[in-house]
Amino acid sequence: MRPRLCGAGWQLRIFHGPETMLTALETGEQPDLLLLDRRLPRHEGTHVLRDLRLQGRNFPVLMLSALDSPADRIAGLEHGAQDYLVKPFHARELLLRCEQLLLSERRATICPSTQEETIQLGDVLFHPHEGVLERPGAANVTLTRGERILLLALCRAPGRVLTREQLAHSSGSLIPVGSSRSIDMRLSRLRRLLGVVSHGGLRIETVRAHGYALQISPSAAEGHPPSETP
């Protein structure tokens, strides 16, 4: 199973018990997807999953098990699994189930929540649902869907550095970032549009070898355009 998953371009971290997995989570690791066996040494997978959900861990989980009765499958889903795959299974089926879960998760992350009707960025208002940037006294700027999604991801982590992989994930892309320049092109255009509408108050900074961060200058945050150097 491991060679097939690695061959699909995924990075794997294997844990032989929930203790080491929990330690990794506590140090900040966040998986895109967890494959969890129903029967673990000295542990029940459904109990491990229940504890993860109680801790607020909301990443998707695919439970694997040789237990195939309706009651067993229902128990796995009731404890928080998004999907339940019965052993033995074909490697191709596992790959397809994983891809569907990842795709569903990515679709969910790109949708603005009801609390994100309007996001204040200094003296610029960002309307994620419409993809519009609004500033008093200036013409509105309309973003493409890809630009809107990238800006929403940056707004959700103001000042924090996001990698190209994280930005690609937020856009729902399944294409490895090394094989596509679409993120770079969208960032370039988004940088230019933010600079125009905010008079330089909003910037997407590049942190070399790390990623990108959204910065709001103090003058923009106070609602005034930044002073211009003569």
Domains, the chain, ranges and CATH? 2-109 (3.40.50.2300), 114-221 (1.10.10.10)
User: Looking at the predicted structure, is the pLDDT value of residue 110 above 80?
Assistant: no
Query: Average pLDDT in the 9-15 region?
Result: 86
List CB contacts of 226: < 8 A, sequence separation 6 or more.
199, 200, 201, 217, 219, 220
End-to-end C-alpha distance for the chain, whole angstroms: 64
pLDDT for the residue 172: 58
**pLDDT (tens digit, 9 = 90+) per residue, 189-206?**
999 999 999 988 999 998
Would the pTM count as exceeding 0.75? no
Q: Give buried/exposed letters for 201-210 (b at 16+ CB in 10 A, else e).
A: bbbbeeeeee
User: Looking at the predicted structure, is the pLDDT value of residue 219 above 60?
Assistant: no
Q: How far apart are CA 60 and CA 102, in angstroms?
A: 8
Q: Average model confidence (pLDDT) for the chain? A: 82
pLDDT for the residue 209: 77
Beta-carbon count within 10 A of 119 CB? 17
Asked if 205 and 222 count as a contact pair (C-beta separation under 8 A), the reply is no
Asked if 121 and 221 count as a contact pair (C-beta separation under 8 A), the reply is no
